[in-house]
Amino acid sequence: MLFKKLKLILLSLLFTLPGWAAEKVVFTMEAPQVVELGEQFRLAFSVNAVGQNIKLPNLSDFDVLMGPSTSQSTNFQIINGVSSQSVSYSYLYVLRAKKEGRFTINPGSITVGGTEYTSNSQSIEVVKGSAKPSTGGVDEPTSTPGTVPKKDLFVRMNLDKRSLYKGEHLTATIKIYSKVNLNGFEDISIPNFEGFWSQDIQLAQQISLQRETYLGEIYNVGTLKKTLLFPQQTGNISIGSVKIDCIVQQRVKKSQSMFDDFFDSFANVKATIISDPVSINVSPLPAPPAGFSGAVGKFDIRSSITAKSVRENDAITIKLDVTGNGNIKLINPPKISFPADFEVYDPKTNSNFSASEQGLNGNITFEYLFLPRFAGTYTIPAVNFVYFDTDSKRYVTKTTEEYQIKVAKGDGTRAQTVNAVAKEDLKQIGTDIRYIKSAVTEFQAKGYTFFGSFAFYLLYIGGILILLAIYLLYQKRIRENANVARMKNKKASKVALKRLKEASQHLHAGSNEKFYESVTRAFWGYLSDKLTIPASELSREKASDELAKHEVESGIIERFVQILDTCEFARFAPGGGSEKMKELFDEATEVMSVMEKEIK
């Protein structure tokens, strides 16, 4: 009893602490975006403060069947010693549309503390009511039990553009449309977007179904994948089909009692849905002006330099920063016309971008490192950055500033160390001037010949010995490399089985993401060691080609690629659970065992 009183006192003190400031009043309206004619739906208003005199907008296009039904909820939390409280008051109305069409419900209003607040507006589309989709029950003679009508479950790839320029982006959205009870996915097969450079748009891991209309009917629609596509070739490019194995819950038995809803039997039915392939027409870019580096979109450029006054052999860096929206990742380094007396290194590239339906937004930076060889005053001309503007359909040129570099004479003792990827070939400058030799010249007696002398034979034999030593070292290196490749080949299956064992541990622990990651690493690591190919050079196409060269059956290769695809798109499959993961694990073990026997 004493504990309860202390708890009430503490809560009372918390609510009276300074810092409990009044929240900004927020008044919102919510309603479904799509409803059927004659369907009842909810129109809800919510406000985070005590309100009075709520006023509805004009609802003449709808019948108000009920309302308002009011409710209140309070949320109290303490995070890192900071207390916060939120209160929500709801006003619920039940409406029914009178006719088809698209209607806009204007904002409602409410009075809080003597001030009137208005809500947002809401657009609602009313479509003609459709027949209830078949559930496959035994009491429904129009449906075959264990089957799903195509009109009730299908997948589409939606493209926001069907005609564009090379390098311009489009958004490919894969959506599933359903009128049935989806219970998960067994497998999702996505085309590889050949002919495009692709970048996925981040989506929520859990698929959320929203009501949408398609061909005048309402479906529960879930977005499986959104990808930005940048065409890398011109002409008509075809994108293959999406294939999904769905698990649908159907009623298979219906009792004849008043407890039908409690004792009906259900079964999971597998339904395979395939989208239609789509094609895109890609036009070539107009003839580009000088300075075009492949940029398509909308960009700006800025330049900076680390120093304008240096000594001979001091390093200087010019940085070009390109920002904007478009094919940022595919932009080539702009060319800078450096003076011939400069030793120039290959530019270093860094990019930072985010993908959205508007394209790639961010920046790409090019850093040019160079060393002045000789004293003097030099000019680095302005850089013309040319990009193709997708809105105006023309080329736009942005220009950086020009730099004057003053190089003082060095003292001859300074040595500059430079870390870079590769260096330009050295140019010979001033070939008409030769340095005067200051070393003492050694003379030889007249009639002396080097051929046949002791020094000649010593040099001759020494050269042969050196060549022999180089040859032996080279052969030793070849044997060592062969042994390493042989050992990797021999141990490939053992290492892969060890990784699969790790995947088995994640399977029993229920770590879905780590399980699929372990299976993927096991397969790629096995192929890298078995085929003696660096893992960084492996891809699905290269792996398939190499396995075919080693006389592996095409069926095994297809199963191998299917396992990798299943692991890659596992985040789009909330259904399946541990049973599905166990089947994938057994499949992976069997495929790897067969590949071990067939690879020659």
DSSP code per residue over 435-493: PPP-SPPPP--TT--STTSHHHHHHHHHHHHHHHHHHHHHHHHHHHHHHHHHHHHHHHH
Chosen domain end from 392, 408, 424 = 408
Write the single-letter amino acid at 244.
I
Q: Report the chain's terminal Cα–Cα distance, integer Å.
A: 80
Q: Is 521 helix (H, G, I), strand (E, B) or coil?
A: helix
Our CA angle for 455, 456, 461, nearest 5°, is 100
Q: How many Å apart are CA 10 and CA 83, to the nearest integer?
A: 13
Q: How many Å apart are CA 359 and CA 169, to the nearest integer?
A: 7
Residues pairing with 177 in the sheet = 154, 221
Q: Is 26 helix (H, G, I), strand (E, B) or coil?
A: coil
The answer to whether residues 207 and 572 touch, using CB atoms and an 8 Å cutoff, is yes
The answer to whether residues 219 and 162 touch, using CB atoms and an 8 Å cutoff, is no
Domain contains 134: no
Q: Mark whether 305 and 256 lie in a shared domain.
A: no
Domain contains 531: yes
pLDDT at 211: 85
Domain contains 459: no
Domain contains 440: no
* Domain assignment of residue 214, given as a range: 150-283
| φ, ψ (nearest 5 deg) of residue 404 | -105, 125
Task: For 257-315, list the strands marked E by DSSP.
Answer: 265-274, 278-283, 292-305, 309-311
How high is the mean pLDDT in each 10-residue block of the chain (600 residues)? 49 43 77 83 86 84 83 73 74 86 87 87 81 44 63 90 92 91 85 89 82 85 91 92 88 56 69 91 92 91 93 92 92 91 90 88 93 91 92 92 90 52 47 56 61 79 90 82 56 69 77 78 79 74 81 82 78 61 81 77
Q: How many other β-carbons are positioned within 10 Å of the β-carbon of residue 42? A: 14
Domain contains 159: yes
- CATH number, domain at 506? 1.20.120.330
Q: Mark whether 241 and 318 lie in a shared domain.
A: no
Q: Mark whether 306 and 363 lie in a shared domain.
A: yes
Q: How many domains does the chain have?
A: 4
Q: How many Å apart are CA 325 and CA 197, to the nearest integer?
A: 16
pLDDT at 13: 44
Chosen domain end from 408, 434, 456 = 408
The answer to whether residues 552 and 595 touch, using CB atoms and an 8 Å cutoff, is yes
Q: Mark whether 370 and 316 lie in a shared domain.
A: yes
Chosen domain end from 380, 408, 436 = 408
31: which 2 tokens? 């309603």
Q: 500: which DSSP letter? A: H
Half-sphere exposure of 362 (CA within 13 A, CB side): 16
- CATH number, domain at 404? 2.60.40.740
Q: How many Å apart are CA 153 and CA 219, to the nearest integer?
A: 9
Half-sphere exposure of 128 (CA within 13 A, CB side): 4
| 253-276 core/surface letters (b: 16 or more CB in 10 A; e: else) | eeeeeeeeeeeeeeeebebebebe
The answer to whether residues 292 and 279 touch, using CB atoms and an 8 Å cutoff, is no
- CATH number, domain at 94? 2.60.40.680
The answer to whether residues 269 and 247 touch, using CB atoms and an 8 Å cutoff, is yes
Q: How many other β-carbons are positioned within 10 Å of the β-carbon of residue 5? A: 9
- CATH number, domain at 240? 2.60.40
pTM value is: 0.54
Task: For 217-277, list the strands marked E by DSSP.
Answer: 217-231, 235-239, 243-253, 265-274
Q: Mark whether 319 and 204 lie in a shared domain.
A: no
Look at residues 247, 242, 319, 248 and name the one whose alpha carbon lies nearest to residue 277: 242
Residues pairing with 327 in the sheet = none
Write the single-letter amino acid at 564.
L
Q: Mark whether 184 and 79 lie in a shared domain.
A: no
Look at residues 24, 11, 25, 26 and name the one whose alpha carbon lies nearest to residue 83: 11
The answer to whether residues 126 and 36 touch, using CB atoms and an 8 Å cutoff, is yes
Q: Mark whether 299 and 278 lie in a shared domain.
A: no
pLDDT at 69: 82
Q: Mark whether 334 and 277 lie in a shared domain.
A: no
Q: How many Å apart are CA 231 and CA 233, to the nearest integer?
A: 6
Q: Mark whether 61 and 28 lie in a shared domain.
A: yes
Domain contains 36: yes
Write the single-letter amino acid at 111.
T
Which strand (E) or helix (H) includes residue 548? helix 540-549
Domain contains 3: no
Domain contains 8: no
Q: Mark whether 274 and 320 lie in a shared domain.
A: no
Q: Mark whether 271 and 208 lie in a shared domain.
A: yes
pLDDT at 14: 45
Q: Mark whether 549 and 584 lie in a shared domain.
A: yes
